[in-house]
Amino acid sequence: MSAPAASRDPDVSSGSVGTAAGAASGAAAASPAPSGREARLAADTHRHPADVVATVLLLVLLAVESVAAAGGIVFLSMAFHSCAAPGNTCDAGLGGGVVTVGPVLVVLVLVGTVVGCVLRLVRRRLASPLALVGIAAQVVVFSAALLLVDAAVQHGF
């Protein structure tokens, strides 16, 4: 066997061809240090398994809550059955708008939260706080719908 030929690559230092130190210095000289997005990805490539599990569980809870909130808002339309009673006054426009727009807002919050969480998980960032914000937003949407329907139906005594 003959000895390996000397490298003609100007980036490889001469005199240490064929040794591990020469190969390491040649590899280091040949590939520049990563910068920009590659450096950020190389610096933080670990996933947070607890966050992934928590996010999935919270998104399942959000989906169940969304079904309950949308159904509850639709069932709020039954409050207008008391409008025929003597002394009661109802704002059918406000109540109808709430019953129509409320479930749409619930779906928008659900879709926005799921998309945001998936994007954050793909980028390997914490996503469970965003899922918690989505759950809180569903509570706010349902509470606002409940208050508006309650304001639309005036019970007289």
d(CA 59, CA 127): 10
- DSSP classification of residue 78: G
**How many helices and strands, by DSSP H and E, does the chain display?**
5, 2
| More confident site: 81 or 56 | 56
Strand partners, 89: 154
Q: Based on the fold, state whether residues 113 and 57 are members of the same structural domain.
A: yes
Provide the pLDDT confidence category of residue 69 given band limits of 50, 70 and 90: very high
Give 38's contacts (C-beta < 8 A, 6+ positions apart): none
The gap from C-alpha 63 to its chain's centroid, in whole angstroms, comes to 13
Residue 78 domain-assigned? yes
- pLDDT at 79 (0 to 100): 84
Q: Based on the fold, state whether residues 93 and 138 are members of the same structural domain.
A: yes
Q: Based on the fold, state whether residues 99 and 38 are members of the same structural domain.
A: no
Q: Based on the fold, state whether residues 41 and 98 are members of the same structural domain.
A: no
Q: What is the pLDDT of residues 89-135, one digit of tens each?
A: 888 889 889 999 999 999 999 999 999 999 999 999 999 999 999 99
| Residues of the domain holding 21 | 14-45
Q: Based on the fold, state whether residues 103 and 136 are members of the same structural domain.
A: yes
| Continuous segment of H or E residues that includes residue 89 | strand 89-90
Q: Based on the fold, state whether residues 54 and 39 are members of the same structural domain.
A: no
Strand partners, 90: 153
Overall number of domains in the chain: 2
Q: Based on the fold, state whether residues 23 and 96 are members of the same structural domain.
A: no
Q: What is the pLDDT of residues 26-51, one digit of tens each?
A: 555 566 666 766 666 555 557 789 99
Percent of the chain at pLDDT > 70 equals: 71
Whether residue 19 is predicted with pLDDT greater than 80 in this model: the reply is: no
pTM (global) more than 0.75:
no
Q: Based on the fold, state whether residues 83 and 34 are members of the same structural domain.
A: no
Q: Based on the fold, state whether residues 54 and 90 are members of the same structural domain.
A: yes
Provide the pLDDT confidence category of residue 82 given band limits of 50, 70 and 90: confident
**Best CA proximity match to 119, nearest among 70, 61, 55:** 55
- pLDDT at 156 (0 to 100): 73
d(CA 48, CA 37): 20
Q: Based on the fold, state whether residues 100 and 138 are members of the same structural domain.
A: yes
Q: Based on the fold, state whether residues 28 and 63 are members of the same structural domain.
A: no
| More confident site: 88 or 127 | 127
Residue 142 domain-assigned? yes
Backbone angles phi and psi of 153, in degrees to 5:
-110, 115
Residues 57/123, Cβ–Cβ less than 8 Å: no
Residue 3 domain-assigned? no
- pLDDT at 62 (0 to 100): 98
Residues 145/98, Cβ–Cβ less than 8 Å: yes
Q: Based on the fold, state whether residues 94 and 130 are members of the same structural domain.
A: yes
